[in-house]
Chains A and B, each alone.
Chain A
Amino acid sequence: MDSRKGELIRITTLLVSIVVFVLSLPLYFNFNAHAYEMQFVEKLPWIPSFGIHYHVGIDGISLFLILLTTFLMPVSILASWHITKHIKEYMIAMLVLETGMVGVFASLDLFLFYVYWELMLIPMYLLIGIWGGPRRIYAAVKFFIYTMTGSVFMLLAIIALYFLNHRATGEYTFNLLEFYRLELSFAVQFWLFLAFAFAFAIKVPMFPFHTWLPDAHVEAPTAGSVILAGVLLKMGTYGFVRFCLPLFPEASHVFIPVISWMAIVGIIYGALVSMVQDDLKKLVAYSSVSHLGFVMLGIFAFNIQGIEGGITQMINHGLSTGALFLVVGMLYERRHTRMIADFGGLTKRMPVFATLFLIITLSSIGLPGLNGFVGEFLILLGAFRSRILYASIATSGIILAAVYMLWMFQRVMFHEIIHEENKTLKDVSKREFAILIPLIMIIFWIGIYPNPFLRKMDASVNHLLKQTGEKAQTVSNLQTQNTAVIPKIDIVSETKAEW
């Protein structure tokens, strides 16, 4: 393919993604912050014989995740300028990926949700497998099979909900809002929660289901890593908030200790493993495990601070870690290595780059005044309110984050230049500057004045808590006697419908 045609493809895709971003902005401005109901709802029959609809809508929880997706897309495409191999297919994959991601966050029909959830696997798999690093095939297949394994169980749970709902209301539908009204027995909730949580825990990824993540991150091209960290992982945490909590409130309460400990182990383990990495990308990948642990801890604190902090931290992690991957990608393009030992003293050659990199690093650590602080602070506030022990242990994760990030920054950017190759490095180009600056602006914005973000979530999060709280209270005494025993499966009798 000649370069002019390639250039045209790049610019077209960039324009398309920018237009999509601009078109998504009215969602923010026209969003009614006082209503918890779904907004911008569209509902069209799709497969009427099964009661399946094309049903989309957003609330304060999905709003920012959609905006994050549409925002990161042009950034990622701009960061893919160096891709020369099969540029057309690459850009097609990126755009299909965007469709899938936005679809996941907007779907209110569980069948539609599942279709988008799986649809987005294919382009990501191709992105890693075709344009990735040396072990790309292993990483791509692992990514695909891991996610698929989790999601098929979710599919069964979705089908079970479908029949349970029919038994209760006599109506065949996959409408999530209808499912919210279901009163499920604890045993059913228990198993359905497990099926959903399994899919989401793999996606987050929570310890011990995280092993696909370092491989996928390290082998993916820069833009793939950005999208993976920025958006795909959020689907897992989003799933917990959107499905597990309101659909299975009692089960969610029962699982608080399990999920919280998994999150805490993830926080500490991710941080410790990050510390010993000598590959920049691997370091950032493991830091994701740690950061997402915080998000999960916040969500399972079951109070407004925790959940809002969790959602804010999803956005923050998307911005900071996305930016970190971009920075690592820029270094890799210059030196074709990601080993920390191959760098050192870059500040002297690349002062502008050093400044930007430092801001991003600090944002990832959670320095007050930058976005990371807001999220982590809220999460810990929420966690302290519900269980002091969890919060105390998790706080050590923040210290560890400072250790591994700052140590990494020091080794890469400070000291004397010891490698000849590093003496000729160029500072950021205009394109690279244009990639990082929007991210850094938002990092500051959320850090200094987070209110416009938080206020839009209030109504939805409060409603979510009401949903989970009210339903959970009805069996709160049931909960104590059921924590120790695994309930017997009786979905069989519950779903068995007449012929």
Chain B
Amino acid sequence: MTPVSIMTFNILSILPILILSGFGMIVLFVDIFSSRRWGEKNLLAYVSLLGVVLAAIFGRSPTGTTLFSFNETFTIDNYSLFFNFIFLLSTGLTILISHSYIRREEINHGEYYALILFSTIGMMLMASGADLLSIYIGLEVMSVSIYILTGFKRSKLISNEASLKYFLLGAFATGFLLYGISLIYGSTGAINLKQIASFIAGRGGIPDPVLLMGMGLIIIGLGFKVASVPFHTWVPDVYEGAPTAITAFMSVGPKAAGFAAFLRIFMTAFGSTHGEWQKIIYVLAILTMTIGNVIAIAQTNIKRMLAYSSIAHAGYLLIALVAANNMGISGTLFYLLAYTFMNIGAFAIVIVLSRKGDECLQINDYAGLGFKHPFLAIAMTLFMFSMAGVPPMAGFVGKFYIFSAAIKSGYIGLAVIGVINSVISVYYYLRITVIMYMKEPTRDFHPLTISPLIVVAIIISMIGTLHLGIFPSKVMEIAQQATLILK
């Protein structure tokens, strides 16, 4: 073991992480010394937002450079910068939609924001980790914060149940992941992704059974985090039980982080053994898309429907992983960014329309919304059509990107199954618009109290969804640059 030299300790590389940790602490401190009055608690949202914005500003480094630090366990490159942007965006949007929500649900504690910031740090570590252990640590930091956030509605049984379920299953999954890491270490003698790659290359690209088992276990561990079938069973219950704002966060951030790790590990370390793992992912992708979409049709609760839809989207993303070409990786990046906008946007609408205690979450409660609250309905329609993959919305370009990647690598069958699933999904996304515009209202819409912050979040999501759909060029180029690193 070489001693840690001070030269590799590059403070600039972790500046955004330091900023977020600092602000997390500040939030905790301010919380301790502030009274129980709501006004001062509001301040915490703004402090956290400031932290996110500062992290985004200082997190930018000159593009094209790759920075290794901490003895090559941590790397800042275009790839991790792109993901950092997705994480900070989802965190920022989550804070915007949380502000009024946690007041209404009376869970307005300072730790809420601090935990969100801490889990963002975990995600960033996952995207920037250059060896298996730092990725694992990132995953744990992220997960533990979210376990707590899931159960944040302490007085609600359903929230506690969700938290416990997520924690127990999540602990199992991380166990698998860690076991996989140790098997890989045992087989290759390395945890650094580049070293693993060169070890496999040195053996002529033929992995031994222990390494294969390790890879399988990593697929299970990360498959759990990205909500891939058959490791998805926690998703509906946890999504339903968690505070809605956290559900929004959970469906975007950790999923993106999971894919960040997935892609980096499998493209960088196991790139040469593509033929070995691609069959497993192939089957997982088909199962995930199909089961997610088919079960989503039967849902009557909007949070559960979005949960299954989130599973289905993980399936589309796995297609890109199977394709394993440049287009697939940059497609994944693009898709995740698009998904951040449309999914958080959709959850923002759900928050606005629900009442204290998370009532009015049945899809039928949305009847007649279309002409009662035209703005909210149009926004929701936009997000639904985007998720269904109808142009000119972001979701369409994302799907186009991923199916193109599949065809490029010759996986025509997978692309066909993907588009068939896309049609199945149209049915349940369309149903939301049917109910909003074509059914008579079944209830009086209570006077909605819409905070300006959540409106900002909705507008940002709408702009993002449309912009990525109509002018995707710029982001595509950035995403393509980001993928060069992995090769």
Contacts and interface: CB of A to CB of B under 8 A. Distances in A.
A499 interface: yes
A499 B325 contact: yes
B154 to A, nearest CB: 42
A140 B438 CA distance: 10
Nearest to B473: A47
B384 to A, nearest CB: 11
Contact of A141 (B370, B420, B430): B430
A255 interface: no
B326 A499 contact: yes
Interface in A78-97: 86, 89
Given A47-B473, A121-B390, A122-B385, A156 B423 contact: no
Contact of B404 (A115, A122, A153, A162): A162
Contacts of A331: none
A444 interface: no
A489 interface: yes
B355 interface: no
Interface string A469-499: 0000000000000000000010111011101
A114 interface: yes
B190 interface: no
Interface in B405-425: 407-412, 415-416, 419-420, 422-423
Nearest to A112: B391
Nearest to A118: B391
A495 B477 contact: no
A50 B476 contact: yes
Interface stretch (A19-27, A144-152, A233-241, A404-412): A144-152
A377 to B, nearest CB: 40
A376 B396 CA distance: 40
A137 interface: yes
Given A114-B391, A118-B390, A122-B385, A49 B477 contact: yes
**A contact face: mostly helix, strand, loop, or mixed:** helix
A107 to B, nearest CB: 12
Contacts of A121: 390
Contact of B472 (A47, A89, A118, A153): A47
B437 A126 contact: yes
A129 B437 contact: yes
Nearest to B397: A47
A130 B423 CA distance: 22
B390 A156 contact: no
Interface in A121-142: 121-122, 125-126, 129-130, 136-137, 140-141
Interface in A149-195: 149, 152-153, 155-156, 159-160, 162-163
Given A47-B476, A129-B437, A491 B412 contact: yes
A89 B375 CA distance: 12
Contacts of B431: 141
B400 interface: yes
Contacts of B325: 499
B315 to A, nearest CB: 15
A129 B392 CA distance: 21
Contacts of A130: 370, 437-438
A125 B437 CA distance: 11
A46 interface: yes
A159 B407 contact: yes
B391 A140 contact: no
B38 interface: no
A69 B416 CA distance: 33
B407 A495 contact: yes
B164 interface: no
A49 B390 CA distance: 21
Given A47-B472, A492-B412, A145 B400 contact: no
Contact of A129 (B400, B407, B420, B434): B434
A489 B433 CA distance: 39
A155 B476 contact: no
B294 to A, nearest CB: 15
A155 to B, nearest CB: 7
B210 interface: no
B426 A144 contact: yes
A493 B477 CA distance: 28
Contacts of A111: 400
A86 B434 contact: no
A156 B422 contact: no
A115 B476 contact: no
Contacts of A145: 423, 426-427, 430
B419 A496 contact: no
Contact of A49 (B410, B427, B434, B480): B480
B438 A137 contact: yes
Contacts, number: 97
Contacts of B392: 115, 119
Contact of A115 (B391, B411, B430, B480): B391
A48 interface: yes
Contacts of B101: none
Contacts of B439: 137
B417 to A, nearest CB: 11
Contact of A136 (B404, B416, B438): B438
A496 B434 CA distance: 41
A491 B370 CA distance: 45
A162 B422 CA distance: 21
A193 to B, nearest CB: 15
A496 B406 CA distance: 10
A495 B419 contact: no
A142 to B, nearest CB: 11
A250 to B, nearest CB: 21
A28 to B, nearest CB: 29
B58 interface: no
A48 B473 contact: yes
B391 A119 contact: yes
B371 interface: yes
Nearest to B401: A50
Nearest to A131: B438
A449 B419 CA distance: 47
B451 to A, nearest CB: 27
B259 interface: no
B270 interface: no
A47 B391 CA distance: 14
B403 interface: yes
A136 B480 CA distance: 44
A122 to B, nearest CB: 7
A129 B403 CA distance: 30
Contact of B434 (A50, A137, A148, A499): A137
A155 B419 contact: yes
A110 to B, nearest CB: 12
Contact of A163 (B390, B407, B416, B438): B407
Contact of B422 (A122, A129, A152): A152
A156 B385 contact: no
A140 B480 contact: no
Choose among A46, A130, A155, A496 the residue with the greatest number of B CB atoms under 10 Å from its CB. Answer: A155
Contacts of A149: 423
Given A115-B391, A119-B392, A156-B416, A49 B476 contact: yes
Nearest to B374: A89
A43 to B, nearest CB: 16
Given A145-B423, A495-B407, A159 B400 contact: yes
A443 to B, nearest CB: 36
Contacts of B409: 496-497
Interface of B: 325-326, 370-371, 385, 390-392, 396, 400, 403-404, 407-412, 415-416, 419-420, 422-423, 426-427, 430-431, 433-434, 437-439, 472-473, 476-477, 480
12 contacts: A47-B476, A49-B476, A49-B477, A144-B426, A148-B390, A148-B423, A152-B422, A153-B416, A156-B415, A491-B412, A495-B408, A497-B408
Q: Which 5 A-B pairs have the closest CB atoms?
A: A152-B419, A496-B410, A115-B391, A492-B410, A47-B473
Given A153-B416, A491-B412, A497-B408, 7 more contacts: A121-B390, A136-B438, A144-B426, A156-B403, A159-B400, A492-B410, A495-B410
